[in-house]
Structure 1
Amino acid sequence: MVGGGQLARMTHQAAIALGQTLRVLAVTESDPAAQVSPDVVLGEHTDLDALRRVADGASVLTFDHEHVPTALLDELVAAGVTVAPPPSALLHAQDKIVMRRRLSELGAPVPRFAEVRDLADVDAFAAEVGGAVVVKTARGGYDGRGVTLARDVADARDAAQRYLAGGAEVLIEERVAMRRELAALVARSPFGQGAAWPVVQTVQRDGICVEVIAPAPRLDDELRLAAGELGLKLAAELGVVGVLAVELFETVDGRLLVNELAMRPHNSGHWTMDGARTSQFEQHLRAVLDYPLGDTAPLAPVTVMANVLGAQQVPTITMDERLHHLFARMPEAKVHLYGKGERPGRKIGHVNITGAANGSADDEGYLAEVRERATRAAHWLSHAEWTDGWNPHE
């Protein structure tokens, strides 16, 4: 697996159960996956020699991020390396302009967009849509980086100029009037078998996913079916092998629009580790190794995943102490820590809470209770503060 982050770390856990050894290409020995894998190659994902070393003798080469230049992957494929997903598919997760154009050709719903080569393109597009716009770099942006929600045309021009001056390719999109964000997570094997998990709702703050609700509550059955079918269709049409996450906007007028694609395990699928029969990490390995895919059925009416994000001020008590207190108060919490240092806003882990078997995602009281427990646990791990003011000494 190219990349030594938390996704590789959690994929390594799944590999152990399948009797596999996951070799990782990490930048440093302190990377999350390098801390736990016995087979580590140190190097950069832009170094062909490093890629050759990590692929040497492997059954398949896969990824925990999309940033490997496809020209290098093409060289590996020419040398006989099995790359999953293949470079021709991965390109659509790397380049938003390529992705938007291809999805438009396939008839998939996307926001109106245009490529920006100079500032006149910004003016023309803003006049065409007659509303708010978003300016993005075509490559490299994630967790809110490389994305500007423009206040007005002047702000859009400033963002485009800044990105262009930095050498980036730029696109501009209409700012969608949305009800919420959803994600359709699917997997596809080389054999062509596909599998889809329930569609989930993702909650973003400052461009970072903070919470995932599985399944998405109060989602119209027609939209739920359409989202899952769209994910499977895109996986097949683009030739994806492995997990594909399709990030979606649900608009205020009841439509679905594709926002982003990720061809790897994804934050929106972390709930599957404790809330589905087959986790996204096991499924990704099954897919790239061409095993029959696993059952994606949920294990509870609702599972809520809350990200543990670094606090502005690192707590004085250690993470180990925080875990001790959390488990004493909330023994049902399933915690996954990434072995990363704490800094403001950084994803350092996540918590999964599964709801009682007699509940329903559409029961507002039940859902609110599960969400509160998940966010309370994650906040405690981040800040060493209980959101409900609980004090064990009172």
Structure 2
Amino acid sequence: MVGGGQLARMTHEAGIPLGIRFKLLSDTAQDSAAQVVNEVVVGDYRDLDTLRRFAEGCDVITFDHEHVPTEHLRALEADGIPVRPGPDALVHAQDKGVMRARLAELGVPAPRNRLVSDARDVAAFAAEGAAPGTGDGFPVVLKTVRGGYDGKGVWVVRGADDPNAAEPFKAGVPVLAEEKVDFARELAANVVRSPHGQAVAYPVVESVQVDGVCDTVIAPAPELAEDLALGAQEIALKVAHELGVVGHLAVELFETADGRLLVNELAMRPHNSGHWTQDGAVTSQFANHVRAVLDLPLGDPRCRERWTVMANVLGGDYPDMYAAYLHCMARDPQLKIHMYGKDVKPGRKVGHVNVYGDDLAEVRERAAHAAGYLRGTVVE
């Protein structure tokens, strides 16, 4: 697995019961997964020679991020190394411009969008979407086509004179403009597909964002109409099939006030919106990703409990962790804590908790309390 973050750490954990030998290419020996994986190569994933040396003896290469250069992945494939997902699929998660163009070809619903060249072009894009007599078409959203995540590389532009209209272009990289969707909530459809075309779909979840970062995930999404739930799963399965995805695919969606679904982002790896599956599904996203990339039969994606809530633990002013564990575990014996071994930084994802049960309000309170206590923002 290329990338030493928490996704690799949890994927490695899922492979242990199958006796899978796991090899990791990590930026540093202190990265989350490097702390627990036996065979670690420390090196730069952007260097082709490093990738080739790492790939020697591997049956298959997969990833915990989308940042490996596409041309390097093609070189590995030319060397006879299976890469899953492959570069032809992964580029759609690497490049938002490529992704938007392909989804449009497939007829997949998405916000109005196009590539823009400068601040004046942003104003023109906004005006193109303005109904007669309704104003200038702002606000709009600008995104760098590569490299953004968790709110980074994203700007909301509220008018032609907004400084954010020029900010993205300073880096000299392509910029995508999108309409700012007035959505009711954010959803995520997670699916897994194997090389021979078997696919499974997890229940659609609601994803609650705070300051552009995932805070809470509710599985399944409460009060989601059955036709919308099935529609979201169908979109994700169609995208996985048409793009040739192998492994886990997360499709992040907007649910609009008038009952439409619009695709926001794609991720071709285990995803934060699927962390609930570790304790709330028959087969976790990590276990199914391992099965998929090894072309093993996929596992049951159904819920174990009526409700499961995942809450991220973000970096804060920590109390003693042992004391925090004593409190959280004694208060809620069913609580599942997953910490990543990361240095604490404000706003950084350093862990998550999973809570399940029959009463959604109670489950959400338990998850919020545990995440807050582990962060240090809840003291009782």
Match of 1:374 in 2: 367
Aligned-partner Cα distance in 2 for 1:336–1:39:
22
Q: 2:376 aligns with which of 383, 389, 394?
A: 383
1:149 is aligned, of 143, 146, 156, to 156
TM-score, length-normalised on structure 2? 0.96
Query: Residues 41 and 50 of structure 1 are in contact (CA less than 8 Å); yes or no, is this contact kept in structure 2?
Result: no
In the alignment, is residue 240 of structure 1 matched against residue 245 of structure 2?
Answer: yes
Partner of 2:228: 223
CA distance in 1: counterparts of 2:330 and 2:91, whole angstroms:
46
- Whether contact under 8 Å (1:97, 1:115) holds in the other structure is yes
The letter for the 1-side match of 2:186 is E
Q: Is the 8 A contact 1:201 1:212 kept in 2?
A: yes
> How far apart are the structure 2 equivalents of 1:367 and 1:375?
12
How many residue pairs align between the two structures?
A: 373
Summarize the alignment of residues 306-317 of structure 1 with structure 2, pairs less than 5 Å apart.
306-311=311-316, 314-315=317-318, 317=319
Paired residues for 1:28-67 under 5 Å: 28-67=28-67
Query: Is 1:321 the equivalent of 2:314?
Result: no
Shift of 1:237: 0.1
- Partners of 1:115 and 1:121 within 8 A in 2: no
Q: Residue type of the partner of 2:229?
A: R
Matches within 5 A, 1:62-73: 62-73=62-73
Give the distance between the partners of 1:262 and 1:275, measured in 2 at CA: 21
Given candidates 136, 140, 147, the residue that maps to 1:133 is 140
Contact 1:2 1:24 in 2 (8 A): yes
1:160–1:170 CA contact under 8 A, matched in 2: no
Partner of 2:94: 94
TM-score normalised over the length of structure 1: 0.93
Check conservation: 1:42, 1:50, Cα contact below 8 A.
no
Which of 199, 204, 211 does residue 204 from structure 2 map onto? 199
Partner SS state of residue 161, structure 2: helix
- Distance of 1:90 and 1:333 partners within structure 2: 35
Q: For residues 28-72 of structure 1, what are the alpha-carbon distances to aligned partners after superposition, in whole Å with 9 as ceiling and x for unaligned?
A: 110010000001010111011221122111110000000000011
Cα distance per residue 1:275-309 (max 9 Å; x no partner): 00000000000000000100001000100000000
Q: 1:57 is matched by which residue type in structure 2?
A: G
* Aligned residue among 333, 338, 341 for 1:339: 341
Contact 2:4 2:27 in 1 (8 A): yes
Alignment of 1:173-188 (within 5 A): 173-188=178-193
Residues 336-389 of structure 1, C-alpha deviation per residue, up to 9 Å, x if partnerless? 00000111101000000011xxx3xxxxxx211111110110000001624xxx
Q: Which amino acid aligns with 2:7?
A: L
The Cα of 1:216 is off from its aligned counterpart by 0.2
Q: Quote the Cα distance in structure 1 between the aligned partners of 2:182 and 2:114.
A: 18
Secondary structure of 1:181's partner? strand
Q: Distance in 2 between matches of 1:280 and 1:220?
A: 24
Aligned to 2:269: 264
Aligned equivalents of 2:337 and 2:88: distance in 1?
36
- Equivalents in 1 of 2:165, 2:115: separation in Å? 11
* Structure 1 runs (4+) greater than 3 angstroms displaced: none
SS at structure 2 position matched to 1:173: strand
Aligned 8 A contact 1:41 1:53 in 2: no
Structure-2 separation of matches of 1:31 and 1:373: 29
Alpha-carbon distance between aligned partners in 1 of 2:54 and 2:364, rounded to the nearest angstrom: 40
Aligned residue number for residue 289 of structure 1: 294
Instruction: List runs of 5+ in structure 1 lacking aligned partners.
Output: 360-365
After TM superposition, the structure 1 stretch with the greater mean CA deviation from structure 2, 252-261 or 50-59, is: 50-59
In 2, Cα distance between equivalents of 1:375 and 1:385: 9
